[in-house]
């Protein structure tokens, strides 16, 4: 079961802009081969960062107003939001380790105490 949620234009503000934790938004299209390659990577990262980073997907064809609002000109485009503000934008298929490093920057793992 994937922890990645599909978000619509109507739900974007509550799911992304008002989220308490950082949110990674995958702007994708169903016909895009790199998007399809990215999907299992995002599923794994969503599981690994559960509770620290929320991962959501936005279909740019179904949610065209959001694509226009955020200037999406190529897919996949990943935007990292923190406190409702874009803190990073990545276009294209990223190496999983590079993407993980970016998530670690905005949501570091809790350090063990004691």
Active-site residue, selected from the candidate residues 6, 11, 29, 32: 32
Which residue reads 């380790």 in tokens? Answer: 97
Active-site residue, selected from the candidate residues 35, 46, 53, 56: 35
Q: Which residue from 33, 34, 80, 90 is spatially nearest to 56, judged by alpha carbons?
A: 80
Counting other chains too, the contacts that 97-102 makes at CB distance below 8 Å and 24 or more residues apart are 99/41, 99/45, 100/45, 100/48
DSSP class of 111: P
N- to C-terminal Cα separation, the chain = 35
Note if 86 is an active site residue: no
Note if 12 is an active site residue: no
Helix (H) or strand (E) holding 40: helix 33-48
Task: Give the active site residues.
Answer: 32, 35
């Amino acid at each position: 079961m994937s922890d990645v949620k599909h978000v619509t234009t109507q739900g974007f503000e509550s799911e992304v802009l008002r989220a308490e934790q950082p949110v990674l938004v995958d702007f994708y299209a169903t016909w895009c081969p790199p998007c399809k390659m990215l999907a299992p990577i995002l599923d794994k990262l969503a599981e690994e960062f559960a509770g620290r980073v929320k991962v959501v997907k936005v279909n740019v064809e179904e949610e065209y107003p959001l694509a226009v609002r955020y200037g999406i000109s190529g897919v996949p485009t990943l935007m990292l939001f923190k406190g409702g503000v874009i803190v990073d934008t990545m276009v294209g298929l990223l190496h999983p380790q590079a993407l993980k490093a970016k998530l670690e920057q905005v949501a570091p793992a809790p350090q063990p105490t004691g």
